[in-house]
Structure 1
């Protein structure tokens, strides 16, 4: 049922593509305004995905999928009964909320499916973007040709009602949640930045890439993002956990996702155009919209059929190897398309090869992501990955439009894309896949020490219906100061990793435990010695706080010829000269300050009465340091 919801979400992206040339006449608008019927859905989907995904982690994944489905159904009904452009535009915007169902659905599968079925489920759900997009073109073409444009949205609304009922009745709500405060300011800033960026990218060809509108949108996006990043790092419960997103497996997977999505959209968009070009050009095949759309069906079907294979590859070889294989197959498919394109069958074979690679690569993405983020944040992390795919797709559309409109030939009194424009786009796709392969090779292989075999991630991604969320606080020194670098990890007593969490600014954390038993829980905060405890979990809800008892410090004594210097000034600078802190020694000449972050520092002391000062160089690690300074001693350069 969740996979059907994913396919329904993907259908919304291509539903109006065959209708686009007719929209100006149908709704009595200009061609420029008609293009908004496609753009608005992309914008809404990109903005809604990270927001809905975060809300799913907080308030319930099933609840958010149902919310997205209701929005999509309402939008479809507005389009089915409306005849005014504004109504149609609002309807298409509401349909964009469906994009959030794919990452949230993947997260539900991780939480609820038996471990043996998670790989297949995630593979199928990941592939729904390509499946729905491939099937949407022929379906909408046939409906429009035989039943009129309203029929597209009646079918979408009817299918949406059935899927909504199915999700409500058949899908269990996940108990894995991380309640807290929603980051409204971060959501607004990200929405403004994404909207500005996507407006520039999707309309660059129409407005002109150097036009004030495009440059203004790009500048606004850059300025807002420049403020959004430090804000998200500072806020206690961010919309997007940038520190987790910056972890090497997550970051590199998202980078590769952009490149692979770029290539996937080229296959989807160019295949139909190539088949519809007049046969007399020598490189077109003169098919109508419906026939060209049907040529995409094999690539969509093969993605469904290969879902079990993707699950097997994920279980046996892991996400990195599967993603690399998929990207390599996509590159091979494009090389085939460059040199072999003499018949419709050859075009279909090339497109299907790219579809096979897409199925493998898309199946691996959420597996790699979920293996590297806390269990209570899987929906948010998958939402960010879906957003990266959308960015890749938008960039692909923009580059495609720029190349196809600049590299043209005259035919029958009009300009059409030249053959070398298609060839260039295919080579760019090969390059994108090749770079993606290089990026994928840099993704760290998950730890397999405990399991003893490759492919088993360091954090379990298989669902377990007995998972219970345990909440608590890290309490440094019995107080609750603001903490931004506090981590909690949980391990089974046999050494297998369970979950981890990054605490908010108040020290709060949530971790998911797979059932009753004993666990090793470790709390680690910057500036404090780590604290390990054996947690005897008996089931049910649990609040468990961890007290960090020993603060890491930098201490010492200031003397002058062996005599203590009361009230001596002590300063700490980074090796590069930046000021860190200052303090004064007590009556015994002793000082104690919090241990700074690891690095090279200059510790200086000065006596007000003697007028003498001295400095020592210190390399700070992960333990308390003691450094004594004698103002009367000559300081060695290597001290």
Structure 2
């Protein structure tokens, strides 16, 4: 009994110290995500480009992050997650400093794209935490708690970044360069926080990098994500855009055949098809539709003049408050997930969270006329989304065998990114179709209805898929169980 208490204290102490440093990393990650949005108009003027050109920066960063995250995560499994986390941080810091001193479209585009290396931070952090927990037999539960706290830090950083950017810009005399130096300093500090505060994981020896597999995977992801990006820009009538997407999807046929022949594949498809893994990965993609694709439509709907027959007519400041409230609801969801999981089970809590996202967006269909209705819908969806942001990589880590936690958690990010790319492309086309006649810049109400329907139905489908997960999945015993035992367990619906 005494040894059990001692082990619990050791596990808590080690993990608490690790989380403290990683929370700072995620605060900075949130700052990067929220800092540049309020400055878009000023950055556009600084570079001498058009407003629409800024879309290329976001598209380039999204594309690069989708390509590099699986490779970096695999390297983390091979050589140590801290080591790769440091490398990703160095690249992010260099790119963020370059942004501050960029004075034209090309250099800013390259720097903004390379800044996307920070996207691998959270998957590597989850893998690090899971590795520490594995040594004490509490990997799954400790990782759920830690991931929730990291998401709290992430969303808090996003709020700080969104609010602080505008205030700093005014305080620094509307100097774009000085304003953009601030996040560069923060990322630089992150490097030292990781270097001195984060212990290394224990990589499995004898691993190798499947270069051919990753090359085919990268090609497929490149074709799909770039095709979706050009779909948003060029429209559905451009045939070669669809050709890119189709060829990208077909690329996964030779990829699958190659991977099944490898002893140490880039992505272990045998692990991916386990009942405690594939629903998690598909859920990440389906939730990515609303998580990454629905925020811009919600903001434009809230700002649409009610003279069109719909919209809230909120000012920029009021819309910021609405988005801030949504981020706070995500923090609430992230905090509640490990607590509710201890009462019910991780599987049931994941299902409930996915249903909350679906219900929140489907409630927009009848209730979108008043600000309080929109706020309520966003809060419901936000609680579910906040729970899933941290829970999905934690669940993937618990379902993965030793030596594959990094790539398993990274895949949830990659599928989420693909879902978000799909949503951005489709929603952009949908909202441009049948624009309102009263205000030329307003999208149609039918377009918004379609956006909310896609988000809601996608989340409901994700919830249904999670019923196929075995009843006792993602428990602490899963971290030590033999892969064959986990794979053989039948789902309890």
TM-score by length of 1: 0.66
1:44 and 2:71 aligned: no
Q: Which residue of 1 aligns with 2:208?
A: 181
Runs of at least 4 residues of structure 1 off by over 6 A? Answer: none
**1:21-60 map, 5 Å:** 25-29=45-49, 33-60=53-80
1:429 and 2:429 aligned: no
More helix per residue: 1 or 2? Answer: 2
Distance 1:198 1:134, change over 3 A: farther
Q: Hey, what's the Cα distance between the residues in 2 that align with 1:429 and 1:56?
A: 33
**Deviations 1:32-57, CA, capped at 9 Å, x for gaps:** 64421111110111111101100111
Q: Hey, what's the Cα distance between the residues in 1 that align with 2:103 and 2:128?
A: 38
Offset, 1:72: 1.1
Q: Hey, what's the Cα distance between the residues in 2 that align with 1:370 and 1:47?
A: 20
Offset, 1:350: 2.2
Q: Which residue of 1 aligns with 2:86?
A: 66
Offset, 1:134: 6.1
Distance 1:223 1:303, change over 3 A: closer
Distance 1:31 1:235, change over 3 A: farther
1:80 and 2:106 aligned: no
User: Aligned match of 2:113 in 64, 71, 93?
Assistant: 93
Offset, 1:190: 1.5
1:124 and 2:153 aligned: no
Distance 1:320 1:84, change over 3 A: same
What SS does the corresponding residue of 1:337 show, helix, strand or coil?
A: coil
Q: Which residue of 2 aligns with 1:335?
A: 362
Q: Which residue of 2 aligns with 1:611?
A: none
Q: Hey, what's the Cα distance between the residues in 2 that align with 1:400 and 1:7?
A: 29
Distance 1:10 1:405, change over 3 A: farther
Q: Which residue of 2 aligns with 1:300?
A: 327
Offset, 1:104: 0.8
**Please, which moves more after superposition, 189-198 or 7-16?**
7-16
Q: Which residue of 2 aligns with 1:592?
A: none
Q: Which residue of 2 aligns with 1:379?
A: 406
**1:118-197 map, 5 Å:** 118-126=143-151, 136-140=161-165, 142-143=167-168, 147-151=174-178, 153-197=180-224
**Deviations 1:368-420, CA, capped at 9 Å, x for gaps:** 322321122101110111111111111111121111111311345x2311223
**Deviations 1:272-299, CA, capped at 9 Å, x for gaps:** 2122223533433444444422321122
Distance 1:85 1:399, change over 3 A: same
Q: Hey, what's the Cα distance between the residues in 2 that align with 1:284 and 1:145?
A: 30
- The runs of 5 or more residues in structure 2 that have no matched partner are 1-20, 486-493
Q: Which residue of 2 aligns with 1:311?
A: 338
**Please, which moves more after superposition, 315-324 or 64-73?**
315-324
Q: Hey, what's the Cα distance between the residues in 2 that align with 1:299 and 1:33?
A: 27
CA contact (8 A) 1:112 1:174 kept: yes
CA contact (8 A) 2:294 2:451 kept: no
Offset, 1:367: 3.4
What SS does the corresponding residue of 2:363 show, helix, strand or coil?
A: helix
Q: Hey, what's the Cα distance between the residues in 2 that align with 1:165 and 1:88?
A: 26
Distance 1:4 1:340, change over 3 A: farther
Q: Hey, what's the Cα distance between the residues in 2 that align with 1:327 and 1:280?
A: 35
CA contact (8 A) 2:151 2:331 kept: no
CA contact (8 A) 2:28 2:154 kept: no
Distance 1:7 1:233, change over 3 A: farther
Q: Hey, what's the Cα distance between the residues in 2 that align with 1:193 and 1:166?
A: 35
CA contact (8 A) 1:144 1:152 kept: yes
Q: Which residue of 2 aligns with 1:408?
A: 435
What SS does the corresponding residue of 2:449 show, helix, strand or coil?
A: helix
More strand per residue: 1 or 2? Answer: 1
Offset, 1:131: 5.8
Distance 1:131 1:179, change over 3 A: farther
Q: Hey, what's the Cα distance between the residues in 2 that align with 1:99 and 1:399?
A: 23
RMSD between superposed Cα atoms in Å = 2.7
Distance 1:126 1:390, change over 3 A: farther
Distance 1:208 1:160, change over 3 A: same
Q: Which residue of 1 aligns with 2:8?
A: none
TM-score by length of 2: 0.84
Offset, 1:100: 0.6
Q: Which residue of 2 aligns with 1:459?
A: 478
CA contact (8 A) 1:62 1:174 kept: yes
1:245 and 2:272 aligned: yes
CA contact (8 A) 1:409 1:418 kept: yes
Larger radius of gyration: 1
**Please, which moves more after superposition, 119-128 or 93-102?**
119-128
- The runs of 5 or more residues in structure 1 that have no matched partner are 448-454, 461-496, 502-521, 523-639
Q: Which residue of 1 aligns with 2:17?
A: none
**Please, which moves more after superposition, 292-301 or 188-197?**
292-301
Q: Hey, what's the Cα distance between the residues in 2 that align with 1:2 and 1:17?
A: 24
Q: Which residue of 2 aligns with 1:106?
A: 126
What SS does the corresponding residue of 1:284 show, helix, strand or coil?
A: coil
Q: Hey, what's the Cα distance between the residues in 2 that align with 1:320 and 1:59?
A: 31
**Deviations 1:340-387, CA, capped at 9 Å, x for gaps:** 334434323321221101122333323332232112210111011111
Q: Which residue of 2 aligns with 1:391?
A: 418
CA contact (8 A) 1:253 1:368 kept: yes
Q: Which has the higher contact order (CA 8 A, sep 6+)?
A: 2
Q: Hey, what's the Cα distance between the residues in 2 that align with 1:129 and 1:142?
A: 20
